[in-house]
Structure 1
Amino acid sequence: MAIQLGYVIPAFDYAVPVKDLFPTVMAQAHRAEAAGFDTVAVIDHFSQIPHWGPPNASILESYTTLAALAAATSTVQLTALVTGNTYRNPALLAKMVTSLDVISGGRAQLGIGAGWYELEHRQLGYDFGTTGERFERLAEALQIIEQMLRTGRSSFTGTWYDTDNAINEPRLRDNLPILVGGGGEKKTFALAARHASHVDIMAVPAELPRKLEALHQRCREQHRDPSTLTTSVFGTVFIAADRTTAHRHHQDYMHARGFDTLSDDHKAMITSTHFVGTPDDVAEQVRTRVLAAGINGFTAAAPVNGHQPDTIELIAQALRPLIPTH
């Protein structure tokens, strides 16, 4: 099952004691499940990325967090949006996501991308390399991962990775979904067309028609029906029952990150991926900016107040009528 209506937890600074941090995360997953979201996601980083906060902000490792959420939920899919390929050996990653699938009773999805955040590579001693090298590594990793997810075995010899009859058991299924995340019209979309059932397109709304056409072209080059590759877009939601509060949340967010001092063009690019207002406002913005372009699904982050009561329910109220989940 692909992401249709997802909720992503991008930040873990809740102004609570550390002992209360994971219960706050878990409460969000519970509310998202109850509200009708089909997927709960976390980001895969070790230092917080600039969009969400300073590098030293609190952040949990994604796969241990997802495993804990698997035991605390019963229906939602669980994924990292998206796993940085450079952080884990691909055979190990295949084993990890398969174990998550077993723990969750068949609710894991592998979200994966090439990796981009140079700071945390340097901090943790991971090889960053060039953009081209990271995509070469991702292409090899996907071949290994797909072998292990589909057949339980992998033998592969590449430039970056090798496996020798690597074993991946137990498995619940041979069709654990692979999601590729990114916006690259040539390399990213070609890998998605070759290996994935879902692509999370990272782009500003104005670019979505062009991105979809490029994605469809990569599918045609692989002799694949584009309709078999589901799409979603990630957006940041600032929602409240009244418009004034929602806009205040947005202004506070922009100011705290210095975005309000950027040039008008740069600020407009950032805010085009922000959805601000009441449930009716947010619904209209998602409908016209995202879904009207032909995108299948939407994943919402609510970094300011997602951990507070009623926020997730308001997002669901806005989006469930637009994006029915199965």
Structure 2
Amino acid sequence: MSIGLGYHIPYFNHTATPGELFPALAAQAAAAEAAGFDLVTTMDHFHQPPLVGPSTGPMLEAYTLLGALAAVTSRVRLGTMVTGNTYRNPALLAKMVTTLDVISGGRALLGLGAGWHEEEHRGYGFEFGTLVDRFGRLAESLEIVLPMLRGERPVFHGRFHRAEGAINEPRMRDDLPLLIGGGGEKRTFGLAARHASHLNIICPTAELPRKMAAVRARCAEVGRDPATLEVSFATPLILDEDGDRARKLLEEVLGRAGVELSQLSGAEREAATDRFFAGTPEEVAERLRDRVLGLGVTGLMVNMLANAHDPAAIALAGRTLRPLVGAAV
């Protein structure tokens, strides 16, 4: 199952009232489906992330939202980019994503990561722990979640998690795909090589050649053909027929996170904007071909930071990017 072109819902602060929000999100998902995107994702957060705005801003719970979007779409696959492993008991998570798969008619994808947002953990009472702890939790979760997705009833007693024959019925299938997201060359890529169908890499494009070499190395360590692990790239995107307007919007987005591009040197500015794709369709397509897709990446997970709620912008992104990753599947 390819996820060649993904559309990510990056914010929930674009409507005047809460009652207007879901209709707007449903329209976004429908526009992405019509534009040829293969996958629609949402973030799994409880506080608004820094690039969007203050942490007190609006944020919807991911799986409740995805279940509702399943009812207003018919083709696109649905998932998180990515589920914070620390936020849910793994057996419950398996049940939740399988329920989404049933509701959507077999269109769910489980995106999973170790978790990173310390303020969010503290606010909601989730244990954050060390990086080693979080990856230990993730590895243990996979020992429960993956068998449950196949209809097995795992018995597992670990340091962080346990299961006593948890039942996961009904199910649509035994091969619900797992996507692991992140940029960690050892732990994250290692878990993806062992367990996942897909890996979504988050990094500046300057680091991508090294990341792709690390993917191949982790696959070799477990005897896996790297061609069997689909790799996509997290693609923050601002497209506009007016390239200067797109770049101005990027400045505004980074400014919300405290990055003032006008105050940076040329080298600092290049480093701050390296992983962002802002410009005309032609400029963005050329850069993606040269710096991402030419390195063996096969999918793009598009985060339209400034205008993801605009149907015209979604359509423009589809027209621009669909030819780069092949026909819709």
The alignment's TM-score, normalised by the length of structure 1, stands at 0.97
Match for 1:303 among 294, 302, 305? 305
- SS of 2:75 mapped into structure 1: coil
Which one-letter code corresponds to 1:195 in the other structure?
Answer: H
Return the match for 1:284 from 276, 286, 296.
286
Where does the alignment leave 5 or more consecutive residues of structure 2 unmatched?
Answer: none
State the shift of 1:263 in Å.
4.6
Q: Helix, strand or coil: the match of 1:23?
A: helix
Displacement over 6 Å in runs of 4+:
none
- 2:323 is matched with 321
CA distance in 1, matches of 2:236, 2:78: 19
RMSD of aligned residue pairs (Cα, Å)? 1.3
Which runs of structure 2 are paired with 1:25-174 in the superposition (5 Å)? 25-174=25-174
d(CA) in 2 for partners of 1:2, 1:266: 36
After superposition, the C-alpha distances for 1:122-174 in whole angstroms (9 at most, x for unaligned) are 00000000000000000000111111001342211111111111100000000
Paired with 1:19 and 1:221, the residues of 2 have a C-alpha distance of: 51
Give me the whole-angstrom Cα distance separating, in 2, the residues matched to 1:131 and 1:311: 38
C-alpha displacement of 1:267: 4.1
Q: Which runs of 5+ in 1 are unaligned?
A: none
Shift of 1:244: 3.0
Is the 2:182–2:201 Cα contact (8 Å) retained in structure 1? yes
Contact 1:237 1:275 in 2 (8 A): yes
After superposing the two structures, state which structure 1 stretch, 245-254 or 143-152, moved more. 245-254
Shift of 1:201: 0.8
Alpha-carbon distance between aligned partners in 2 of 1:117 and 1:240, rounded to the nearest angstrom: 31
Offset of residue 70 of structure 1: 0.5
Moved more, 308-317 or 108-117: 308-317
The answer to whether residue 253 in structure 2 is matched with residue 253 in structure 1 is: yes
Q: 2 CA distance for matches of 1:175 and 1:247?
A: 41
Question: Using the alignment, how far apart are the partners of 2:259 and 2:290 within structure 1?
Answer: 24
Task: Give the SS at the match of 1:175.
Answer: coil
Report what 1:268 is aligned to: 270
Structure 1: how far apart are the matches of 2:311 and 2:76?
A: 19
Counterpart residue number, 1:178: 178
Q: Which amino acid aligns with 1:22?
A: F
Residue aligned with 2:224, SS: coil
1:260–1:267 CA contact under 8 A, matched in 2: no
* SS of the residue 1:151 aligns to: coil
CA contact (8 A) 1:152 1:171 kept: no
Distance in 2 (alpha carbons) for counterparts of 1:107 and 1:307: 23
CA distance in 2 between counterparts of 1:161 and 1:39 reads 30
- Residue identity over aligned pairs, in percent, reads 51
Q: Spell out, residue by residue over 1:57-96, the C-alpha distance to the aligned partner (whole angstroms, 9 max, x if none).
A: 1111110000000111000000100000000000000000
Q: Relative to 1, partners in 2 of residues 1:266 and 1:108: Cα closer, same or farther, differing over 3 Å?
A: farther
TM-score (norm 2): 0.96
Whether the aligned pair in 1 keeps the contact of 2:10 and 2:308 (CA below 8 Å) is no
- The one of 272, 275, 295 aligned to 1:293: 295
Whole-angstrom distance in 2 between the partners of 1:292 and 1:33: 26
